[in-house]
Structure 1
Amino acid sequence: MHFCPSCSNLLLVENGVGQNGETCLVCQTCPYMFPISKPFISRTILKRKEVDDVLGGEEEWANVDSIEISCPKCLHERAYFKQIQMRSADEPMTVFFRCCSMSCNFNWKEN
């Protein structure tokens, strides 16, 4: 994308509008025209942003309480839990669980 140096609007490619019938970059709001004399390609490789883990990452279960509930995978009788508001404020919070058994560590949720 190229922008007009006069008014900063997007320049469009139009064929045969130049003085000698050449292809030009043309501004739609002001009389600016830039003749294109040869093909040009420009490529910008965007740097990807690191994704933030909104649920807490590695430390998400560090300071949570436990409750007496049966794990659906190993049937262990205790699990850690935390509540997060996932939807709008008039919807109930989502409860996330993690089995307290170190060999299981199964995660599940309830709405």
Structure 2
Amino acid sequence: MEFCDECGSMMQTDGDVWVCGSCSFEKPRDSAKEKAFQEATTESQSDEEGVVDMSDVDKSEIGPTTKTICPSCGHDRARYEMKQIRSADESETRFFTCVECDHKWREDDH
């Protein structure tokens, strides 16, 4: 991706040159620079990068916990996370998972 040296707009390729759609400024393409950028971008998108093996982690150690009563087993501790699933002007929804029985439930402000 290139930006125009004259007006700052995003440029488009046209054969061997970059052309600005706003002011028509042109500059030659640098194939070595484009190839290096493409290789760097492709490397950073490998399938294994960012994958975390959680199979050996105790579930009670994952995420924050809070004191709340599980509606299924009555245990007093649950992991939680909050997500904005409704419009931005409404409060977040709280999702809980009991650390004892793995029961899942949610709470909304009404």
Q: Identify the TM-score tier after normalising by the shorter chain.
A: 0.3 to 0.5
- Larger-Rg structure: 1
Higher relative helix content:
2
TM-score normalised per structure 2: 0.47
Structure 1 length as normaliser, TM-score? Answer: 0.47
